[in-house]
Structure formats: structure tokens, C-alpha cells
Structure 1
Amino acid sequence: MGRENQTGMSEFILLGLSSLWETQVSLFVLFLAMYLVTVLGNFLIILLIRLDSRLNTPMYFFLSVLSFVDVCYTNSTVPQMLVHFLSARKSIPFYSCVLQLLISLAMGSTEFFLLGAMAYDRYVAVCHPLHYTVVMHGELCLGLAAGCLAAGFMNSLMQTVITFQLPLCHKVVNHFACEMLAMLKLACVDTSFNKVMVAVSGFLVIMLPCFLVLFSYGHIVATILRICSAQGRRKAFGTCA
């Protein structure tokens, strides 16, 4: 971290979504309900997959990992936002802001990578069903999940370090959380390089898994259409739905 940040910036002020008390109370109720549904729903998915032996397959393994990552992503920002809805002073300590940005970026990136891994799993299941259990063995599934997490954290760590090494002249963040582009607006220097890095990172994290999904499902659809049995086609489409 730069010296300016360590000595002169101990906290940030988050403007949030509204300055009106009535609106903040309404938003608190709305986001609290959404938060509870999200967290409980994802935990229920994880619990069901753990308890039902029939769901001990690679597809549901990746789904449980995705649910866990979604819970972590939600908890990185929403609890603090809920507290700020009912607080007069919406401040966040410097290092809490750093941690929030690090975790939210890591979990968001990991989700995209996991979607790519899940698309590959479905590609093997539909296009190479006889080799599925051999290809998608436990060690590969764990390796893919760990690789997605590692790639997400590497991307997040790079972006977070580059961002908070900038000299920051302001502490009022025009956002409800420590978000990347909102933090760059606080810098005293030109942030063109950082914005290019954000764009490149966004392309790699979002578009590459997207291309993998489109490629995998293109092959899947082509394979399904070659199935002679209508029942077999319905079952294959249902597996990928």
C-alpha cells in the first residue's frame, strides 16, 4: 500500500443508495428479504446435495461449489450495506474496504470460471457419455474447482493491489460498497492504466468462460439433434437445462 493511504486514509464514507430515511428503511427490508432468500436457498442446495447420495455426481458437486461461492459473494457486501441503511454515519475502515473489494472480486470472478467448468462437465456427459465417469473423476472435479478459486483470487489480488497503491485524495465513495471503478475515482493521479487493466480483466474473466459455454453447448446441441430417439433428446436437453 502507498504511504499516502497508510497514513492519511483510515476510512471511507459510502454514500449508499439514498439519503432519505424512509427510502433507506424500505431498502433495508427489501434487501434483507433478498439476502435471507439468497443465503438460505444456497445453503439448502448445499445441504440437499450433501444428504442425497443420488446427487453425488460432478454436476451437483459444481452446483454446490457455485452455491458456496454465491454465499461468500453475497456476504462480502450485503451485511455491511444493511447496517449502513440504518446508520447515520456510513463509514468503512480502510482495510475492511480492501478486504471487501478483494473478496467480492474474487468470488465474482470464480463464479464465471465455475460456469465454464460446469459447461465442460455437461459437454463430456452428453457428447462422450461412455467416457464420462473416467474423464470427470473426483480428482479432476476438485482440481477444476480449486483452479477456478485460484484464478478468481489471483485476478482479484492483482486488481486490488494495483488499485490501493494509488494515492487517494478523497474518501467519499459514490457507491454502497468498495467497488473497483468507484475507488478509482478517488485517486489523485491518472487512472487510465487501471481502467485498461479492469477492461482486460473483465474480458478474460467474463468472455472466456462465455466462449467456453457457447462452444460446449454448441457441440451439445449438435450431438442431441443427432439422437434418433425423441425420448433420448428430451432427456439430454433436460440434463443441460
Structure 2
Amino acid sequence: MPSAQTREGLADKVYQAVKQSIFDFQLLPGERFSENTLAQQLNVSRTPVRQALFHLEREGYVEVLFRSGWQVKALDFDYYDELYDLRIVLECEAVRRLCALSLAERRVALAAQQRFWIDSAPSTLGASVAKEDEAFHRALVAATNNRQFLQLHSDITEKMRRVRRLDFTQQHRLHATYQQHQAILHALYAQRCEEALRLLTLHISESKAAVRTITLLRLQQARETAQAAHPRESPSRART
């Protein structure tokens, strides 16, 4: 019988695999699936599959259907828009508090962001930029030294990751992120608080619009691929 540690490891493996399939649109919004199917595909028992799915359900990626297995949750853009708006409010308050610090304190709080976004050439364009982008925005909030702010921001970031990471799949959006982060940092170092607030609001708003466009495009491409591979299947598997 597998140990508790082994079971937890298997559940985490399933969790990561299913989550990545959702992120990559291999499991489409609205698509139904069973625990048995996943267990067979991942070569594990149903127990770690069920544990992983309940974890994903708590995070809002899947939902259980009464006597009908599981389903990938549909993309609710109104929900994501609200999260983007909440980010603007929270991060703008963080910037106001950053501006109340001395320039020396500001530079210490943002030292890692200075090194990545300004001192280093933008040579690394890809998945690592998504992580560094999250670190940039987290650093703004962390500088407030308010643990509740930071926890709320972390929760929002996790909920948005399903779509927000797509903002870093196109070169022009990667370059825009570099330029906008640099501009925000320069404004903060120059003690131009209102400019930093304006730039930050514009940056997040542009990301919100771009993510919706990119997500819809990726979803359309995934549907077309799925229909080409399984032309006789019901179109309901690609429902949003």
C-alpha cells in the first residue's frame, strides 16, 4: 500500500498535469471528463486523481457534475475583468505608499526589479518573463509591509494565472511589458507619483484587453484542432 507521502506526490503530479492541460487548452472550457479516463491516461489510481481534482475545484478550474463526472469550468471574462480592476486598486494603493518612502527605501524595495527590468537586456523572452512579471507586481505590494495586502494580491494572481500567462506568448506584448515596467520604475525613482499611477493603471488595463483577445484566439485555435482531430465528436466538448 503506498505511503501517505507517495499518495500526496501522485496527487500533486496529477494536479500539475491536469492544470497544465487546462492552461494549454488540451482540456477545453466546458469539456467533460471522468476520473477513470484521467487515471488511465496518467497511469495512476483514482484516489490521487480525485484528490487533485478537488484541489483544482477549490481553485476554480474544474467543477464536479452530479453523476456525470467532471467539467472544465467555462471562461468568465467578466470575472477576470473584475480581478484586473481589483489589481489596479490594490497596486495603485501600493504605489502611493511606495511614494511615501524615501528614495533610498524605494530603491531597496525594488532592487531586484531594477536588476531584471532595467539593468539587464531583455534577452530572455518566454515563460520566465511571466514569473518575473508576477514578481514585479508582487514587489510593489510587498513594499507596503502589509501582509493582508500581499495575501490578497497573491490570491488574485493565482486566480488570474489561467489567462494572464497568455500575455507573454506574443513578442510585442513581451516588449511592451519591458518598456512599461521600466517606465513605472523610472517614475518611482524620479518621485513622480502621479505619473507612476497613470502608467501602472494603463499597463494593467492594456494587459486586460490583450489577454481577452489572445485567449479567444487560442481557444478558437484549440477548438479547430480538436474538431479536425475528432470530426465526428459533438461540438459540445468545446463549449465555453
TM-score (norm: length of structure 2): 0.30
Highest Rg: 1 or 2? 1
TM-score in terms of structure 1 length: 0.30
